[in-house]
Amino acid sequence: MTSPGVLVLAATPIGRVGDAPPRLAEELAGADVVAAEDTRRLRRLVSDLGVELAGRVVSYFEGNESARTPQLLEALEAGDRVVLVTDAGMPSVSDPGYRLVAAAVAADIRVTAVPGPSAVLTALAVSGLPVDRFCFEGFLPRKAGERGRRLADLAAEPRTMVFFESPHRTATALAAMAEAFGDDRPGAVCRELTKTYEEVRRGPLSELVAWAADGVRGEVTIVVQGAPEASTSHLTDNASLREAVDALVGEGQSRKDAIAAVARTTGLPKREVYQVVHSGEDTDD
């Protein structure tokens, strides 16, 4: 019986090819299959690294991820070593890869990684904002309404937040963040990280909105400081929670929406606000 293969998630440079981890060249050269988000970029990368690919190369991107995953899983089950690379950074982190990882894990196939460059961690490290607790939110929705609701849900998030954004939507995203989080919330826009024209702009969101108004170029990562944890302490006792929900219901909101709104305002889990409102019991003790 053939032993199952190994899925290798290989990080690629986010800017300078010299940042490639040494193991990347080794894994690419020894792979039975290389699955690449963009095969043309892969060819340039292996040329820069001085690597000759012995295995077959297949494309693996958002448009064919669902269809290609079973094929790659079949190769893994047949004993192949499959190396997955994306255009930049770590596969599956806001890039193709999650479906294949999940399928491999479900099939009891070993999954490992070549650690390396990450725009998320690099931006966080140079932002100058708190790094002890953070969350990665990826790309915001393109539609204004959905984007506003997502940011409203994050308004009370106490952890530093990291976002990806396209350059032509950066100004709009920053304006929406300023509206949801407040003009004075500290942030940083990290542009072209590790590349020749790397730039990090730091300041309150209002200043970043003004800076981005003339247009932004290159790959963009936005870091925003979390909400002050003490800002909603007046709404943390059960009586005040019920009163806040009742006030919103009195203004015409459904009870479900009112509970969600109070949860966002206080930073409490929705289930906790729900239990307080529906139990009618004081659980402070």
Residue-level pLDDT at 229:
65
219 and 257, same domain (yes or no): no
Better-scored residue on pLDDT, 276 or 56: 56
Asked, for residue 72, whether it belongs to a domain, the answer is yes
274 and 204, same domain (yes or no): no
Asked, for residue 84, whether it belongs to a domain, the answer is yes
Q: Render pLDDT for 45-81 as a digit per residue (tens, 0 to 9).
A: 999 999 999 999 999 999 999 999 999 999 999 999 9
Of 15-19, 73-77, 136-140, 231-235, the least confident: 231-235
195 and 240, same domain (yes or no): no
Residue-level pLDDT at 279:
78
Q: What is the CATH number of the domain that holds 88?
A: 3.40.1010.10
Tokens of 45: 């990368």
92 and 166, same domain (yes or no): no
Task: Provide, rounded to the nearest whole percent, the portion of the chain with pLDDT above 90.
Answer: 74
Question: Which of 91, 117, 143 corresponds to the end of one domain?
Answer: 117
Question: Which of 93, 117, 141 corresponds to the end of one domain?
Answer: 117
Phi, psi for residue 6 in degrees, rounded to 5:
-135, 135
Asked, for residue 1, whether it belongs to a domain, the answer is no
51 and 102, same domain (yes or no): yes
Residues 6 or more apart from 225 whose CB is under 8 A from it? 129, 130, 160, 185, 186, 187
Nearest CA among 139, 138, 43, 137 for reference residue 85: 43
Is the pLDDT at 265 greater than 80? The verdict is no
Distance between CA atoms of residues 54 and 21, nearest Å = 20
Question: Which of 68, 94, 117 corresponds to the end of one domain?
Answer: 117
The number of folded domains in the chain is: 3
Q: Render pLDDT for 99-147 as a digit per residue (tens, 0 to 9).
A: 999 999 999 999 999 999 999 999 999 999 999 999 999 999 999 999 9
Residue-level pLDDT at 276:
86
Asked, for residue 168, whether it belongs to a domain, the answer is yes
183 and 274, same domain (yes or no): no
Q: What is the CATH number of the domain that holds 160?
A: 3.30.950.10
Residue 176 and residue 145 in contact, taking contact as beta carbons nearer than 8 Å: no
Confidence category of residue 236, pLDDT binned at 50, 70, 90? low
Q: Calculate Rg over the CA atoms of the chain.
A: 23
Asked, for residue 284, whether it belongs to a domain, the answer is no
237 and 137, same domain (yes or no): no
212 and 131, same domain (yes or no): yes
Asked, for residue 285, whether it belongs to a domain, the answer is no
Residue-level pLDDT at 235:
55
CA geometry: angle 226, 230, 236, nearest 5 deg: 115
76 and 102, same domain (yes or no): yes
**Segments forming the whole domain that contains residue 252:** 230-279
Question: Can you give the pTM of this predicted structure?
Answer: 0.77
Is the pLDDT at 284 greater than 60? The verdict is no
Distances 99 to 19, 49, 104, 250 between C-alpha atoms, Å: 27, 28, 9, 45
Distance between CA atoms of residues 216 and 219, nearest Å = 9
Distance between CA atoms of residues 174 and 218, nearest Å = 16
Residue-level pLDDT at 161:
98
Residue-level pLDDT at 151:
93
218 and 135, same domain (yes or no): yes
Residue-level pLDDT at 97:
93
222 and 239, same domain (yes or no): no
235 and 222, same domain (yes or no): no
Distance between CA atoms of residues 193 and 195, nearest Å = 5
Is the pLDDT at 283 greater than 50? The verdict is no
